[in-house]
Amino acid sequence: MARISKKPVDQKLLTKIYKLFYEVFLRYKGQEDFLLIMDDIFSPTEKIMLAKRLAIIYLLIKKVDYRDIADTLKVSTATILYYATTFYKRNSQVVNIINKMLKNEKVLNFLDDFFANFMIHPGVYIGHWKLYRDHQRKQESRKVLG
């Protein structure tokens, strides 16, 4: 649990702080810059906490069992239930963003499979068996993750 001061901050000041926070994260240019900003601002514990929260919501959307989530992420089922009721079941903005990401992922995977069927011809062209096996591995890893 994050520790914050018991002394409340003025709401107008807090709004300005949130805007500053937004502006800092808005200006990153790519994943490396984002990770550097995360390292500068958040402690290792805070980064893990945020990552686990997003992972819980993602796994709930993927319909993974509560106990499997708890075992994998090393969190309690009560924590998972909290995120299920707070975010997942009320269809929050985070849930909408993850759902859009998953739809895009499905489209990209479909296109990848579609073009692989036309472009990869094992036994006809030299080197295509390797491409075929690589594509099969990629499909298997998608099944495991999905």
Looking at residue 75, its amino acid is V
**pLDDT for position 16:** 93
**pLDDT for position 13:** 92
- Which three-class secondary structure string do you get for the chain? CCCCCCCCCCHHHHHHHHHHHHHHHHCCCCHHHHHHHHHHHCCHHHHHHHHHHHHHHHHHHCCCCHHHHHHHHCCCHHHHHHHHHHHHCCCCHHHHHHHHHHHHHHHHHHHHHHHHHHHCCECCECCHHHHHHHHHHHHHHHHHHC
Contact, 76 vs 70, CB < 8 A? Answer: yes
Reported as a single tens digit per residue, the pLDDT across 69-120 is 898 889 999 999 998 888 766 778 888 888 888 777 776 676 667 666 656 7
**pLDDT for position 133:** 81
Reported as a single tens digit per residue, the pLDDT across 24-63 is 888 777 778 888 888 888 888 888 888 888 888 888 887 8
Handedness of CA 22, 28, 30, 35 (dihedral sign): negative
Q: Is pLDDT of 124 > 70?
A: no
